[in-house]
Amino acid sequence: MFHFDFFNLDPDDKVITANITKALYLADNSAEKIYSDLKEQDYYSDLISANMSQQLTIDSIAIDVNQYPYYFHCYAKEKLIRSTSIVTRDLITEGYLRNVARSDNNPHGFLIERWNILENKDLKTENR
């Protein structure tokens, strides 16, 4: 759910704020730092001004349950949808999962720690 909330965005400030807020309940300050860096670079403002949507499809998640906290890789495809084109990106992230109490904000009972984006590269661009 963290990746879904962090990366599925529409060109609406309230949607972006709501999704990011939900995502940040599921991760430590490493995710907040990435969010702050993107905000500082005007990424979210540019998304709104370009009327661009961002959609994420998770291909797979690999978790090493032989160590704790549990190390994971998330493999996904990200689509940046504009009125004139759709850019597909390959997204790979990593981090660690730590058990925490379940709550309304974190129903799965895991907190993502030391989250990092390893790869976010363009694969193809389709003209519309």
Residue 82 is encoded by which pair of tokens? 């504009």
What does the pLDDT read at residue 55?
97
Domains and CATH numbers, the chain: 2-127 (3.10.450.230)
Q: What is the pLDDT of residue 54?
A: 96
Q: What is the pTM of this model?
A: 0.92
Report CA torsion sign: 89, 92, 93, 98.
positive
What's the pLDDT score for residue 65? 95
The pLDDT of residue 14 is: 96
Q: Which residues of the chain have pLDDT under 50?
A: none
The reported pLDDT for the residue numbered 120 is 96
Whole-angstrom distance, CA of residue 112 vs CA of residue 70: 9
Give the separation between CA 83 and CA 109, rounded to whole angstroms: 39
